[in-house]
Amino acid sequence: MIKHQGGCFCGNIKFSTEYDPMLVMACHCKTCDKMLGVGTGVTAIFGEEEVSFEGELKRYSLRGSSGNQLHYEFCGNCGNNIVTKPDLIAGMVYIHVGSFDNPLAFTPKVEIWNKTKPVWFNGEGCIVESFEDNGSLERIQMLMENLDQRQ
């Protein structure tokens, strides 16, 4: 029975698994910053044979912050970076939780590369407002207030 499923933004890539991840981890390294385009990568780790993929993933390989080879696999159409395969732990796949249909199903237990962790990650003192929805009106108001203060 399928337990978790997901895919890329455009729908060319789909994946599913019957398992819960072995580990969910947040990574604050420079490589995740660049490759995932966010200040933090959150990944759910599975055995390679535990996840089945549909569609053709493209691959980009690089040397990660740990010095080991990492293979990033993404949709060639929409560019969604879906999975990382590390040489260090061969046979494991790191699925980026944002690619799952329900990313909220995953909560990280471990975080790494904390020395480059963004200050806001645990809400430490910089967030002054947060919104349940997109907060459009309030955000525009904040932008306008800051615009007024510019020369």
- What does the binding site for Zn ion look like in residue numbers (CB under 5 A)? 8, 10, 12, 27, 29, 32, 41, 75, 77-78
- Shortest Cβ 12–Zn ion spacing (Å): 4
Supply φ then ψ for residue 124, to 5 degrees.
Answer: -80, 80
Q: Considering the complex, state which of residue 90 and residue 144 has its C-beta at the smaller distance from Zn ion.
A: 90
Please identify, using beta-carbon distances, which residue of 6 and 41 lies nearer to Zn ion: 41
Compute the radius of gyration of the chain from its Cα atoms: 18
Around 23, how many Cα atoms within 13 Å sit in the side-chain half-sphere?
10
Nearest one of 43, 50, 37 to 111, comparing CA atoms: 43
Nearer residue to Zn ion within complex by CB, 11 or 135: 11
Q: How far is the CB of 151 from Zn ion (least distance, A)?
A: 39
> Dihedral (C-alpha) 22, 65, 32, 92: value to the nearest 10 degrees?
-30
Q: Would you say 59 or 139 has its CB closer to Zn ion?
A: 59
As measured in angstroms, the least distance from the Cβ of 28 to Zn ion is 7
